[in-house]
Amino acid sequence: MNTNSISEKIKQLIRTKWILRFVLFPFVRPKRFMDEFVWALCDFWTFRSSIKNYLSFLRRDPPSAENKPGLLIVAGRGMNTQWCQLWAVLGAVFANRTHRVFVLTSRNQPMLNLYFRIFGFDFIFLEDLKISTVIVPQSALDQINGLESFMDFKTFKLDGAPLGSMAMSTYSRTKVTGVIDIQDAQTREEVRAWLVFIYQSVVASKQLYQKNNIDMLFFTEVFMEEYGAFYYGALDMGLNVIRFAGTVRDNAVIVQHLTKESDRTHHAAVTSQSWSQIVDAPDSKQIDLELERNFLDRYGDVWAMSTRNQPNTKIVDPKVARAELGIPSDRKMGVIFSHILYDTLFFIGEDLFPSYADWFVESVKAACANPNIEWFVKVHPSNLWRGELEQFFGGKYEEVRLIERFVGPLPKHVHMVYPDTPYSPYTWLQMTDYGITVRGTSGIELGALGKTVITAGSGRYEKIGFTVNPRTSAEYMELLKSLPKAPEPSIEQKRLGVKFAYMTFCMKPFTLDFLKPVPKFGKTRIFGTDDLVYRGNFPESMTELPASVERFFRWSFNKESVDFLNDWPVQPKEFHHGAVSTSNL
């Protein structure tokens, strides 16, 4: 056994045994020790103190001991603190009224588990499930071992679950790259190993659900590692699955029911049923006002979760910005809005290209081949605060690595836009004539601003009516190469874009008015995702649940109501925000 192998085994042991980290880190990783244990404990005790009014309220009506169905909170091997805090608070309502609450977690997460101990939830530890001992039928192993090509793996399913896509997505996420060279023998074997593990996890999940009478689950991750397996196990059994997802607001999340009909849709998408109730709703001045405020808040300094994507940027008049960039007023401009190229691949809808990385490379090639407009390639802003690139590749952006490897030097009409650009993302949205995306949030924003949006995938907003949706990769490439020969959005398309943006940014968020977002102990600001934690915001003499919690509780039982939505505005309200105008809205 070589030295590297021994070193890796020691590191793996430390990663999986919290007591070793507790003993060793004060000497070898003092900052990590403070973050993982000392500051985490401070966060816990402060949070517990901040919800004392809520705890007192719940104790007035303690849960009955009668047999109840189970609610499973899927925290997994590691979860951001704020999700554990939110799930603990919401889960307590179910524990008091309707369910026995279980938490799927790891013994290796003692600090996070403290939040669930406050309310006396039952723990199911992943280590006890012994997933690796689940017997895989030889027929399934034969199918897995017979997979060879990229599409063999990507399209592989067992019992209706997209195991191949999940395995490749997991591989991509753990390697922090959108490039999956399935012809490489080592890559192929690693993906096969993930396939086997995910299959075993699906089997284990169904056994767990039956044993504990689980009928409802809380998730955030639903397509990687054991998370995806437990999700598809629940979906196959017809259980009530509620997915939580973050937003760029510090004080809001998105929740949705995942069913076989809503599976593989973006968390910020809306069902056709929800859209049909809104598309013909009367227009209101309040829509424009609230949407304008939302744009300015997201691209201002109101919310830390959005500010971290655009530090040191300014909202500049688009005409001024174009002049500073040297773009003549009569020259059209297109922006390729990159995705996170290695995260949650293949879950949402269907793509024209095999992967985000393939889409990105081919889109840049099309831009290089079309000098008739000015092109900008915008690196995804999350590269600023996601730590993986620094850890694995010394900070070099995945987009840059792909261009260097597959495209080469860019011609003078194609420009890179890095996250440290002086212009706000909002300015780039206003400047461009054409926005290129698979299904990104930029497409919604551009639609609301009356821009031409060209997509390369489904599962979010391609059916709403404000986008241009090529049917094949060849059609997509031809369209990009033919720009500016593309029709401008009609008045009706602009109206649809505004309405859909309002639904996404103003109706979808579940405002957590019962919690206050703050930086965690040891942090002076919210930058990384796990820098945000909550404090309770409950009145001193509670006589009833916060209305928002009560509304969530009642909605949670109606699986057919996929979208958790705020009301459509009826009466206009006055709004004064500042000097910046979103006149395109």
Domain locations in the chain as residue ranges? 29-132+212-268+510-556, 134-202, 273-507
Six token digits for residue 99? 């369910």
Helices marked H in 346-458: 356-368, 388-393, 398-406, 425-431, 441-448
Nearest to 551 by CA among 536, 561, 542: 561
The pLDDT of residue 110 is 97
Element (H, E) at 296: helix 285-298
Quickly state the pLDDT bin for 579 (edges 50, 70, 90).
very low
What 3-state class would DSSP assign to 392?
helix
Q: CA dihedral in degrees (79, 81, 87, 88; nearest 10)? A: 120
Six token digits for residue 478? 């031809």
How far apart are alpha carbons 71 and 102 in whole angstroms? 6
The pLDDT of residue 176 is 80
Helices and strands in the chain: count of H runs, count of E runs: 25, 14
How far apart are alpha carbons 252 and 62 in whole angstroms? 29
Mean pLDDT of 235-259: 96
Q: Is 535 exposed, middle or buried (0-12, 13-18, 19+ CB in 10 A)?
A: middle
pTM score: 0.92
Mean pLDDT of 360-375: 98
The pLDDT of residue 346 is 82
How far apart are alpha carbons 449 and 460 in whole angstroms? 18
Q: Which CATH number fits domain 273-507: 2.60.40.1120, 1.20.1530.20, 3.40.50.2000, 3.20.20.80?
A: 3.40.50.2000
Nearest to 434 by CA among 479, 478, 474, 380: 479
Residues 6+ apart with CB under 8 A from 107: 18, 125, 127
- Torsions phi, psi for 538 (to 5 deg): -105, 140
Nearest to 86 by CA among 245, 249, 208: 245
Q: For the chain, what is the mean pLDDT?
A: 91
Nearest to 428 by CA among 330, 328, 318: 318
Given a cut of 70, is residue 206 above it in pLDDT?
A: yes
- Please write the tens of the pLDDT for every residue from 512-533: 999 999 999 999 988 877 899 9
- Please write the tens of the pLDDT for every residue from 404-419: 999 999 999 999 998 8
How far apart are alpha carbons 349 and 460 in whole angstroms? 8
What 3-state class would DSSP assign to 284?
coil
Which DSSP category does 283 fall into? P
Six token digits for residue 468? 């241009």
Quickly state the pLDDT bin for 285 (edges 50, 70, 90).
confident
Given a cut of 90, is residue 20 above it in pLDDT?
A: yes
Given a cut of 50, is residue 582 above it in pLDDT?
A: no
Q: What is the 3-state secondary structure (H, E, C) of 133-189?
A: HCCCCHHHHHHHHCCCCHHHHHCCCECCECHHHHHHHHHHHHHCCCCCCCCCHHHHH
Which DSSP category does 387 fall into? S
Instruction: Please write down the long-range contacts of 123-131, taking CB distance under 8 Å and 24 or more positions apart.
Output: 124/72, 124/208, 124/212, 126/76, 126/77, 126/226, 129/204, 129/208, 131/197, 131/200, 131/201, 131/204, 131/226
Distances (CA, A) of 405 to 244, 370, 398: 37, 20, 11
- Please write the tens of the pLDDT for every residue from 429-479: 999 999 999 999 999 999 999 999 999 999 899 999 999 999 999 999 999
Mean pLDDT of 78-99: 97
Six token digits for residue 401? 């690595």
The pLDDT of residue 177 is 82
How far apart are alpha carbons 179 and 186 in whole angstroms? 14
How far apart are alpha carbons 110 and 397 in whole angstroms? 34
How far apart are alpha carbons 535 and 521 in whole angstroms? 12
From its phi and psi, is residue 521 left (phi > 0), alpha (psi between -120 and 50) or beta?
beta
Q: CA dihedral in degrees (351, 357, 359, 364; nearest 10)? A: 170
The pLDDT of residue 581 is 38
Element (H, E) at 519: strand 515-519
Question: Out of 299-303, 369-373, 494-498, 547-551, which region has the weakest mean confidence (pLDDT)?
Answer: 299-303
